Structures are given as structure tokens and as C-alpha cells.
Chains A and B, each alone.
Chain A
Amino acid sequence: MSLFLSIVLTGRNDDYGGDFRERFFRTLRFNHRELTARGIAHEFVLTEWAPDPARRLLVDFVKETIPDIADEVFTAYIVDPAYQDALTLNPHLKYLEYVAKNVAIRRASGDYILASNCDVYFGRRILDVLAGRALQPRTVYRAVRHDLEMSATPSDWDALEDPGSLDAPPRPLKLPLMLGGTGDFVLLDRETFHELRGFNEVYRLARMGVDANFMLKAFSSGVQIVDIGGPVYHVNHVGSYRVSRDTYAGREHEAPWGNRQWHYHGVVYENPPSWGLRDAPMRALAGGRWRLDFDLHAVPPLVDLRRVVLAVDRVGQPQLRRYKK
């Protein structure tokens, strides 16, 4: 029987947001426990992108801290840091998050792939839909994001669903693209994810907007976009865009999330067939770990302008927002 769900994540042991490992382990434990309790056949696929060779790998901490997650349920792809240097088009952008996610999407084996983040809890409604296998192919499922206060450390449903823990009122998902916290929850069947060739790997200047740009690409390609009907929960933390966007006022070009003004709401991409570092040589390590060694042949061209194309509107659907200065 084929695996139903692959949960794609990316992270590394770099103390992102102060207590990254603790936040990650809390959500990983919670999500694994709840998925298992409902009998949802799943795997976690982590891309450990460009780890600092002087620090221990994040995946080693996972195996040590949460031993009840079996090796076959947790696969990690450790990507040589040379890929970050070879791929980036913006030296301030230290983490090509969506290329990293593509590495895992390319290699995930579930019928459905959920691209999410390391600090996101899946809500009850989401788990119920997954348990009921009530998903359609060629449909991107989105979930509204509930931001919890920075001090929140939920470990059970009562704490997670306490309205008093909300940092701000949730922003509803709006048609046609249902944007807002998009990177936290993009669920789609594997075949369509592959047909769309994952997230944008052509515009490697920003983290901001790449998730929204995927939604535009999906919409433009005739894929349906649907609200799954319940929230994900995200605990606010230091360093997140939401919390620290004003830190870079007046020097936006230095921001670690890159250019946030680009036309992600109008222009899409056609990734090369080798998306997700298809041609990177892989070495199997122990315990569900793989290392992607550096090979220049696996790196797409620095510039490939014909792969930048206009999004198209769809008959009978709301018109897309276009040029915005």
C-alpha cells in the first residue's frame, strides 16, 4: 500500500528565532502523535539546508530527542552548503527556503505532500480531513494561520485552542489565491506538485512571496484552490518576518528575507526539469539520512530569463491583481 502523506519541512541547527530546536521538537512530537492516533500513514521529510559544519546536525538532535519517531517515518536530506553559495542571487539571503523544500518535495513518496514549517501545529479539522482521506487531486488545500503569543508553549489541545493565546485576530483566506501564512500549509497531491515543478527556483532573490507565487502558478495552471476548513497554529518568535519586519526599515535591501516588493502576484516561473537538485549526487547515511554532495552539474543556470512568464487569468474566476508598484 502506498504512503498517504509526506510532510515536507526544512531547517537547520542555527538557533533561528532563538529557540528553534525546542519549537521544532514541540510541533514534531505533537503532529506525529496526533497523526499516529488517527491512523494517518505519514512520513516527515526534512531538508537540512546548508548546515554549519561546525555544529551538530539538526537531524541528529531529532533522532536523539524523539526516539519514538522511527527512521522510516523521518527522512532527512542534508544539503552541502556549497549549493546555497552557488544558487543564491542575493548575498543577504542566507537560506533558500523554497529550493530546500523542493529538494524534499522531489524525493517525498506520499500520495499527498504537505509543505509546511518546523513550528506549525496542525489543527483538528486538518487532521480529520486527512484521516477521512477526503482530498481531491489537482487541488491545493490551504489553512488559515492562527498566530499564538510568543510566550506560548502549547503541548495539548486546550493550550493550542485557547483563544486567549492568540497574538492577533486571524486573517481570513480570500479568493482567488487564499494567501496569508501560505508557507505554513500547502497541501497538494504529489503528481500535481511534480507537474508544477515545485516552488519558484528561478527568482532566487527572496523568501518573501515565493509561497504566494506558487499559489499564483497553481491558479494559472488550472489547479483548484480550497480552504481545508480549519487552522494551523504558529507560535510567534524572534526573527520572524511578522515580528521583525520593522528592524530593516530604510535598509530593506539588507533584509534576510530578500526583496519583498517583487511581482510575485503577477509573474510566474517554469522551473527546469532538474528542479529540487535532481542531479545532486546522493549518499545514504545511517538512520534515514541522506547527504546531497555538491556537483556543479546539479546547479541550474544563474540566469535563465525565458523561464520567467506571465500568469494567466482563468475564465469564470476572479481576475488576478496585476501590476503593483
Chain B
Amino acid sequence: MEQSRQDQKRIEKARVLDERLDRAERDLTAARDLLMTIEVKLDILEGAAQVLDARTRRMLADQ
């Protein structure tokens, strides 16, 4: 009887851990997706900053 109760507890604990793992995997995927989008946006911002910097320098040099 005692053995069976302990087995039940272990099964329940494993189920809870499994759910947590699933949630963590989903969170990780969502975080990576977000990171990917942010990195692409940062590329664009960095490119724009460089282009604008070059344009400004050219204008100042021409003056």
C-alpha cells in the first residue's frame, strides 16, 4: 500500500516536471523568436546609423 502511494507521488511529480519542461521549451522558443526579430531590427538600425554618419561626414567635408 505504502509502495503504491509512493509510486503515485513519483508519477505525479514526473507529470508536473514534464509540464514545466514543455512550458520552458515554449518560453525558450518564444524568447529566441523575439531575439531573432530584435537582432534583425538592430542590424537595420546599425546600418542606418552608419549610412547617416557617412552622409553627414561627406556633407561637412564639402562645406
Contact = CB atoms under 8 A, between A and B. Distances in A.
A263 B48 contact: no
Interface in B11-63: 29, 32-33, 35-37, 39-41, 43-45, 47-48, 50-52, 54
A302 B52 contact: yes
B36 A323 contact: yes
Interface residues of B, number: 18
Given A91-B50, A91-B51, A263-B39, A310 B44 contact: no
B51 A323 contact: no
Interface in A13-38: none
B38 to A, nearest CB: 9
B44 A88 contact: no
A267 B52 contact: no
A84 to B, nearest CB: 12
A127 B7 CA distance: 67
A305 interface: yes
A308 B42 CA distance: 11
A139 interface: no
A305 B44 contact: yes
B41 A308 contact: yes
B31 to A, nearest CB: 9
B33 A89 contact: no
Contact of A203 (B35, B36, B44): B44
Contacts of B52: 302
Given A303-B48, A322-B33, A323-B33, A203 B40 contact: yes
A221 interface: no
- The bracket for how many chain A residues form the interface is 20 to 34
Contacts of B36: 263, 266-267, 310, 322-323
Interface in A267-325: 267, 302-303, 305, 308-310, 322-323
A305 B48 CA distance: 12
B44 A89 contact: yes
A303 B44 contact: yes
Contact of A263 (B29, B40, B45): B40
Nearest to A304: B44
Nearest to B30: A310
Given A89-B51, A310-B37, A323-B33, A259 B43 contact: yes
Interface in A86-108: 88-91
22 contacts: A89-B50, A90-B47, A203-B40, A203-B44, A205-B43, A205-B44, A262-B39, A262-B40, A266-B36, A302-B48, A302-B52, A305-B41, A305-B45, A308-B41, A308-B44, A309-B37, A310-B33, A322-B33, A322-B36, A323-B33, A323-B35, A323-B36
Contacts of A323: 32-33, 35-36
A197 interface: no
